[in-house]
Structure 1
Amino acid sequence: MSQANRALIERFYAAFGRGDSAGMAACYAPDVVFGDPVFPDLRGERAGAMWRMLLSAPGDIEITLLEHDADETTGRAHWQARYVFSGTGRPVLNDVRAEFRFSGGLISEHRDRFGFHRWSRQALGPVGLLLGWTPLLRASVRRKAAGRLAKVA
C-alpha cells in the first residue's frame, strides 16, 4: 500500500468536500485523463474545469469518502455525493466508484463509475425513470453538460 497515494486520494476528496476545485485540480497531473458516464473523456485542464463548473452550481454538495486504498501505481475509492440537481431542483444521492492511476505523485487517470439510470431517476424525475436507460437520454445529458463546460473551460 502506498501511503502517499492514499493521502492524495484523501486530499482530493477533502478539497471536493470544501468546494475547492483548485485544490482538486492540484491533485491532477497536467495531462490527466478523466472519465465518467456524463463526461467520458476529459483531458488536462478540462478535467479541472469540469469540477469548477460542477462546484459553481447553486446549492451545497456533501461529499462522503466511504473507503479508499492505493498502491504505488493505482488506487480506488468509493464515495457519495448528496446535492440538489440545479436543472430540476431534485435531490440526488450519487454513489460512485472511482479508479485512479498515479504518476509523479499526482493523479494521471481518474475514472468514476455510477449507475446513469439510477442518477437520472433522481435528478430528472419521471423523464429519467422512463428514459434513463436509453442512449438517447444519455447523449442529451452529455451534450448539455459539454455545452456548460465549454462556457467555463
Structure 2
Amino acid sequence: MIHTTHNVLLKFYDSFSKLDAKRMAECYHPDATFTDPAFGKLNYDEVCAMWKMLIERSKGNLSVEFFDLKSSKKNGTAKWVATYNFSKTDRKVVNEIYAKFKFQDGLIIKHTDSFSLWKWSGMALGLKGYLLGWTPFMRNKIREQAKDSLNKFLAK
C-alpha cells in the first residue's frame, strides 16, 4: 500500500530536483525540525530558508537525484545525491545522502539527513578538507560557517 506520505516524499524530491524551494517547504509540518552534519538542528523557518539559500547559491548548477523512497504512515527513508560546485571554492561535490523522515498530519515533522562530512569536506575544500575534515575542529568550523551563512540569509 502506498501511503500519502510516499506522495509527500515524491513531491519533496521532485520539487528539489526542479530547484523549487517553495514546493519543498509545502511538504514540512509547521513544527518540523531538520538535522544534518553541516547545519546541525534547524526549525521550520530555518530549514525552508536553507533549501532556498542552497538552491539560489547553486545558480542552476545543482542536480538532485533521488531513489529508494520508502514510507509508512509515520516514517520514511530516501537516498539522494546532490551534485554541484561548492560556492566558496567552485570545487565539484557529489554528496550521497541518506534521509530519514517522521510524519505527522501527513507532512514531514522530522527530517534527518546523514552523510560523511569528511568526504564532503574533501570534495568541497580540497586537500585541507581531506586532511582535516575528520577533526572536531574542522567539523565545528564547517557547522559554524553553515549556520552563519544561513543566519545572514535569514536576516535579508
Q: Name the TM-score, length of structure 1 as normaliser.
A: 0.97
In 2, Cα distance between equivalents of 1:44 and 1:5: 18
Asked if 2 retains the 8 angstrom alpha-carbon contact of 1:2 and 1:72, the reply is no
Residues 1:28 and 2:37 are matched in the alignment: no
Residues 1:57 and 2:28 are matched in the alignment: no
Identity %: 38
In 1, Cα distance between equivalents of 2:58 and 2:42: 23
Give the C-alpha shift of residue 3 in structure 1: 2.6
In structure 1, what is the equivalent of residue 132 of structure 2?
A: 131
Q: Partner of 1:22: helix, strand, or coil?
A: helix
Q: Residues 55-89 of structure 1, C-alpha deviation per residue, up to 9 Å, x if partnerless?
A: 11143110001211000100000110010101101
Asked if 2 retains the 8 angstrom alpha-carbon contact of 1:21 and 1:52, the reply is yes
Asked if 1 retains the 8 angstrom alpha-carbon contact of 2:68 and 2:78, the reply is yes
Q: Which amino acid aligns with 1:50?
A: M
Q: Residues 83-114 of structure 1, C-alpha deviation per residue, up to 9 Å, x if partnerless?
A: 01011010010000000000111100000000
Q: Which amino acid aligns with 2:41?
A: D
Q: Residues 103-144 of structure 1, C-alpha deviation per residue, up to 9 Å, x if partnerless?
A: 111100000000111111101001111100001111111111
In structure 1, what is the equivalent of residue 37 of structure 2?
A: 37
Mapping 1:1-153, distance limit 5 Å? 1-59=1-59, 60-153=61-154
Show structure 1 runs of 4+ deviating over 4 A. Answer: none
Q: Name the TM-score, length of structure 2 as normaliser.
A: 0.95
Q: Which amino acid aligns with 2:50?
A: M
Asked if 1 retains the 8 angstrom alpha-carbon contact of 2:63 and 2:84, the reply is yes
Asked if 2 retains the 8 angstrom alpha-carbon contact of 1:80 and 1:94, the reply is yes
Structure 1 residue ranges without an equivalent (≥5): none
